[in-house]
Amino acid sequence: MKNTIICILHQPHSRVRRIGNQIKKLGLNYRIIRPCSGEKLPDNFNNYRGVIVFGGPMSVYENNKYKFLKVELDWIKRVIDNNVPLFGICLGAQLIAKSIGGDVFPHTKKIHEVGYYPVFPENGYVNFFGKKENFYAYQWHKDTFSIPPGATLIASGNKFKNQAFIYNENTLAIQFHPELTINVMKKWTKFAINRNIRGVQAVNELESIAVKHESSVRNWLKLQLKNLFIKK
């Protein structure tokens, strides 16, 4: 079990996608838990290597509608307090931010960010993003987070400023989606277009940008999983 990473998913049909394969390549296993379906989160962290909290369509501030979010928030705070390695993606990052004193809210202009866009490393963190001044990645969100007390902003964006932060040495939170394949990105983007969400990047533009950058994103994800979950 000590070689197992907990993967928290937020819909009954959600999957770990390429992260599952990369965990296996690191010689580790993963256990999927869906609190949204009533599955219980473990009380004891000693048997696990770490935690990954994935995205979802709900918002952190909808915890009256989605009761499991309150359970997750309290549990994530315990994960951090116990110094368990933790990686949050989109909603997962927002839950981490909220659990340690940040805030989560819609963009002030009520806009979405859906497409493959540049993320800009903060000063001192260019190496963290593969020595790239512009790190491109797929985005799909309408909410953002403030940077919690004690956390460090490591990347910013154009539409949504706060894109990634680290907390202590064991917690990484990102707004973007490195776990998706291009086919899934196209599917999610078409879904946004069908919902008449304004400002969604055209599918052909998304694909043309993604094919140039996806190898960098895959390598970046592999490195972050290794750094978080493989003991140095």
Active site residue 90: yes
Active site residue 179: yes
- Active-site option among 7, 10, 141, 179: 179
Instruction: Tell me which H or E stretch contains 80.
Output: helix 68-81
- Active-site option among 10, 112, 141, 177: 177
Cβ burial of 88 (10 Å; 0-12, 13-18, 19+) is buried
Q: Name the residue type at position 16.
A: V
User: Long-range contacts made by residues 156-159, C-beta under 8 angstroms, separation at least 24?
Assistant: 156/119, 156/120, 156/122, 157/113, 157/117, 157/118, 157/119, 157/120, 158/117, 158/118, 159/107, 159/111, 159/113, 159/117
Active site residue 112: no
Instruction: Tell me which H or E stretch contains 5.
Output: strand 4-8
Q: Which two tokens stand for residue 140?
A: 């799909």
- Active-site option among 90, 112, 141, 214: 90
Q: Which two tokens stand for residue 98?
A: 């909220």
Catalytic residue annotation = 90, 177, 179
